Structure 1
Amino acid sequence: MTKSALVLGAGMVGVSCALALQKRGITVTLVDRREPGCETSYGNAGVLALSSIVPLNNPSLFPSIAGYLGNRHPALNLSWRRALARPGWLLRFLWEARPSQAAARIAALESLTACTVERHRALMTEAGVAHRLRETGTLKLWRTDAGHAAAKAEHDFLKSHGIESEILDRQGISAVEPSLNPIFPAGLLIPAVGSVDSPGAVTAAYAALFADRGGRIEQAEVTGLARQGTGWRASTATGAFDADIAVVALGPWSGDLLKPLGLDPKLDVERGYHRHLKARAGARLSRPVYDADAAYYMAPMEQGYRVTSGVDLSDRDAPDDHRQIDGVTKAAHEAFPFDGVTGETWRGARPTLPDSLPMIGEAPGNPGLWLAFGNQHIGFSTGPITGEMIAAMVCGETPPADPKPFRPGRYIG
């Protein structure tokens, strides 16, 4: 019987794993180099992405590739140096986009996102931060008349998966978001999607709930992981921590810790940026808005209006490249009456695997070593169910979603 656990990584996925294991009577130590919610879980658009069920590398990627290669599209910045350094990963990423794989991967993602609002609502109530939850949906917008067909196609697709949406014309958009500039002829309102006003603060509140229930949080950088007897030991500069099992939930840094064990999870990263903009007096948004043609979110946050960039496929630790976020800032000013930037530009990295699905399960050949990472751009949404799946499997229960599509063995031999 598992009596103690180390959870390495205090983002949304790691904190959720810690809470779920703790709920089952396991003594948990949560370890991260920074305070909970300060890395990848801090910088997203705060969307509880019920409708994000299509992998980034889906069949529609192929006709779009030519438009991405010159780094002129706001959705993608590709470092050719990085691509040439890992051609095998990029080729596998493209291979996974073939049509025969699409339905299974959509079903897998849907199994993770279907209850995201309900799970977060329950946790936010327990943690005393229910006031941070908005259930006003999200609004996707198009800048050209071609958006009418795109909105209809997405509406029909979502309806086939039981997700309701409403197609809006220019007047309909102005009715739900009067402060938007009237540059969008087509839109899609998805009412069931939730959002929060500070994803970092929500993650920190979940960690505080874990601590209030007797959980131990250690701020230290994990420098090594090794088997210790029948359990696992995590080494840090300030000491070592032992437990029956270890859960690696370090997001884009997870591979660094696993490779010395001879485990290569085929993990890579998608970098992203955000800035906070100040609205002019009287202007407001009631929900996150996605500008499809300019590839960014505008999301109301407690710090102001957060605008997020597209994907930057550069090395995880390469210097900042503000081309995309600069373009986003300009596009956002076209869409909404902003009055300047507040604070510094933030950069983070999302962990991604070639099939755009997370890795959730026990590492092959390493009993007691559990992996929970690779949730890509929906880790904030899918953290709670990932934690429940890990805890259920650790305790021999039936997990709330089929773990087979996420098994580590699909990439780790």
Structure 2
Amino acid sequence: MSRSVIVLGAGMVGVSCALSLQKRGLDVTLVDRREPGTETSYGNAGVLARSSIMPLNAPSLWRKLPSYLGNRSPALHLDPARLIAEPGWMLRFLWEARPSRLAARVAALESLMAHTVPLHRELMTQAGILHRLRETGTLKLWRSEAGFASAQAEHDFLREHHIESQVLDRQAISAVERDLKPIFPAGLLIPANASVDAPGPVTSAYADLFVNRGGRIEQAEIRSLTRAGSGWAATTDSSAFAADLIVVALGPWSGDLLRPLGLNPQLGVERGYHRHLRAIGSASLSRPVYDVDAAYFMAPMEQGYRVTSGVDLSARDAPDNHRQIDAVTASAREAFPLGDVVEAQPWRGARPTLPDSLPMIGEAPRNPGLWLAFGNQHIGFSTGPVTGEILAAMITGETPIADPKPFAPGRYIA
């Protein structure tokens, strides 16, 4: 008789864990309060970011801090109430930015990102949605001549890690994206990255694949976790589900469920916004672009052109603050012919981030059978499938496709 598993959370990470466990013969039930792919996994630029191997809190963060003070930068909004409420997380996030920690964290991220595009391509093929995959790369853009030095430095860094990129001047940028306005003298094209035209529906299609292979999805609000004999039980607003193993993949809500068990994963939350706009006339983009100086992604999507904001470090459930998304929308209009806004209000979501910018993948200390898969921060959509493969291999005694040690829960949970 196969072991039973309940996966809590139907975002990209949770759905991927369910698929990887199912593939190995386990009896899997997926539980979430919402339909698959309608929370955090819905709101991103749709990038499969092979090149995202530099941690969010790289040592360069220290020199950027003065520009973030006063909330004048579109890249970051810091709510003083959050700083007062969570000083420990903020300080540890900064402490992890010291240079001596950088190489190990880059190597850990690279071990994940190397599998991003191949695993997604495989799942999209199996789910019958390969038409949603664009292997046209991504384009980073700088608004000043000084951007050439930044583009060249990133090109050199990526080359050291065998990731192809091309430094572009204004004319070359126009050749790659003819409808961008000529306001960017420097750019970096990264062909190794890919993207999708609708992240939410991609996650939903993976969930459909899970169901078509015999998996079960239950829509319910998860209230608590308890031991049940040699296994675990998840109590919801409608019933309880028991299994041999539990996987917590609830993204920014994971800590809420673990703290009553005496487990504090040191999980922080970054909020973000996006809105969709229609292009004017026949203007189009072939790939997502990132405006470095104005701090936004603009990505062609099924719903229109999605413009994403920088990081909002307010409390997870605080009221919306549209300062950043309004600022970057204005900047995006400077760069590309954008017309009407599609939705009445911007979308807002939250991303789960651990102090070292690495996910937590593995069994919880002192709690056999309780497995954790969260903290994938801005690369959760990219790294969901590899997270699932690592976790499922550990559960079934296989050798994971990436070393799980850097992602061990024990680095934050005693």
Q: TM-score of the superposition, structure 2-length normalised?
A: 0.99
1:313 is matched with 313
Structure 2 counterparts to residues 12-91 of structure 1, below 5 A: 12-91=12-91
Please say if residues 265 and 412 of structure 1, whose CA atoms lie closer than 8 Å, have aligned partners that are also in contact: yes
2:224 is matched with 224
Work out whether 1:190 is the aligned partner of 2:190.
Answer: yes
1:387 is matched with 388
Structure 2 counterparts to residues 203-352 of structure 1, below 5 A: 203-343=203-343, 344-352=345-353
- What letter matches 2:359 in structure 1? P
**Quick one: percent identity of the two aligned structures?**
74
The worse-fitting range, judged by mean Cα deviation, of 120-129 and 80-89 is 80-89
CA deviation vs aligned residue, 1:217-264 (integer Å, no higher than 9, x gap): 000011011110000000011100010000000000000000010000
1:356 is matched with 357
1:200 is matched with 200
Rounded Cα–Cα distance in structure 2 between residues aligned with 1:326 and 1:215: 41
Rounded Cα–Cα distance in structure 1 between residues aligned with 2:375 and 2:177: 34
SS at match of 1:72: coil
Please say if residues 362 and 408 of structure 1, whose CA atoms lie closer than 8 Å, have aligned partners that are also in contact: yes
Rounded Cα–Cα distance in structure 2 between residues aligned with 1:379 and 1:86: 23
1:156 is matched with 156
1:408 is matched with 409
Q: What displacement does 1:34 show?
A: 0.2
Structure 2: tracts of 5 or more residues without a match: none
2:368 is matched with 367
Rounded Cα–Cα distance in structure 2 between residues aligned with 1:80 and 1:102: 28
Rounded Cα–Cα distance in structure 2 between residues aligned with 1:402 and 1:207: 26
Rounded Cα–Cα distance in structure 2 between residues aligned with 1:57 and 1:79: 18
1:135 is matched with 135
List structure 1 segments (4+ residues) > 4 angstroms apart after TM superposition: none
SS at match of 2:189: strand
Structure 1: tracts of 5 or more residues without a match: none
CA deviation vs aligned residue, 1:322-377 (integer Å, no higher than 9, x gap): 00000011000000001121113100000001111100000000000000000000
Q: What displacement does 1:70 show?
A: 1.1
- What letter matches 1:30 in structure 2? L
Please say if residues 2 and 244 of structure 1, whose CA atoms lie closer than 8 Å, have aligned partners that are also in contact: no
Please say if residues 71 and 78 of structure 1, whose CA atoms lie closer than 8 Å, have aligned partners that are also in contact: yes
Please say if residues 2 and 27 of structure 2, whose CA atoms lie closer than 8 Å, have aligned partners that are also in contact: no
2:109 is matched with 109
Please say if residues 363 and 412 of structure 1, whose CA atoms lie closer than 8 Å, have aligned partners that are also in contact: yes
SS at match of 1:347: strand
1:180 is matched with 180
Rounded Cα–Cα distance in structure 1 between residues aligned with 2:302 and 2:327: 23
SS at match of 1:217: strand
Please say if residues 151 and 186 of structure 1, whose CA atoms lie closer than 8 Å, have aligned partners that are also in contact: yes
SS at match of 1:282: coil
Q: What displacement does 1:2 show?
A: 5.8
Please say if residues 2 and 395 of structure 1, whose CA atoms lie closer than 8 Å, have aligned partners that are also in contact: no
Rounded Cα–Cα distance in structure 2 between residues aligned with 1:326 and 1:152: 30
The CA RMSD over aligned residues, in Å, is: 0.7
1:146 is matched with 146
Please say if residues 294 and 328 of structure 1, whose CA atoms lie closer than 8 Å, have aligned partners that are also in contact: yes
- What letter matches 1:67 in structure 2? S
Please say if residues 2 and 25 of structure 2, whose CA atoms lie closer than 8 Å, have aligned partners that are also in contact: no
Q: What displacement does 1:140 show?
A: 0.2
Rounded Cα–Cα distance in structure 2 between residues aligned with 1:355 and 1:260: 24
Rounded Cα–Cα distance in structure 2 between residues aligned with 1:367 and 1:151: 47
- What letter matches 1:180 in structure 2? L
Rounded Cα–Cα distance in structure 2 between residues aligned with 1:88 and 1:192: 37
Q: What displacement does 1:84 show?
A: 1.3
Please say if residues 2 and 245 of structure 1, whose CA atoms lie closer than 8 Å, have aligned partners that are also in contact: no
Rounded Cα–Cα distance in structure 2 between residues aligned with 1:309 and 1:2: 44
SS at match of 1:102: helix
Please say if residues 2 and 394 of structure 1, whose CA atoms lie closer than 8 Å, have aligned partners that are also in contact: no
Q: What displacement does 1:112 show?
A: 0.5
1:94 is matched with 94
Structure 2 counterparts to residues 115-130 of structure 1, below 5 A: 115-130=115-130
* Matched pairs, number: 413
- What letter matches 1:212 in structure 2? N
Rounded Cα–Cα distance in structure 2 between residues aligned with 1:307 and 1:2: 45
- What letter matches 1:104 in structure 2? A
Work out whether 1:171 is the aligned partner of 2:171.
Answer: yes
SS at match of 1:361: strand
Rounded Cα–Cα distance in structure 2 between residues aligned with 1:194 and 1:18: 24
- What letter matches 2:370 in structure 1? L
Rounded Cα–Cα distance in structure 2 between residues aligned with 1:23 and 1:106: 30
Please say if residues 15 and 203 of structure 1, whose CA atoms lie closer than 8 Å, have aligned partners that are also in contact: yes
Rounded Cα–Cα distance in structure 1 between residues aligned with 2:310 and 2:190: 21
- What letter matches 1:158 in structure 2? L
CA deviation vs aligned residue, 1:131-170 (integer Å, no higher than 9, x gap): 0000000000000001011100000000000001011000
- What letter matches 2:368 in structure 1? P
Rounded Cα–Cα distance in structure 1 between residues aligned with 2:338 and 2:53: 31
Rounded Cα–Cα distance in structure 1 between residues aligned with 2:321 and 2:69: 17
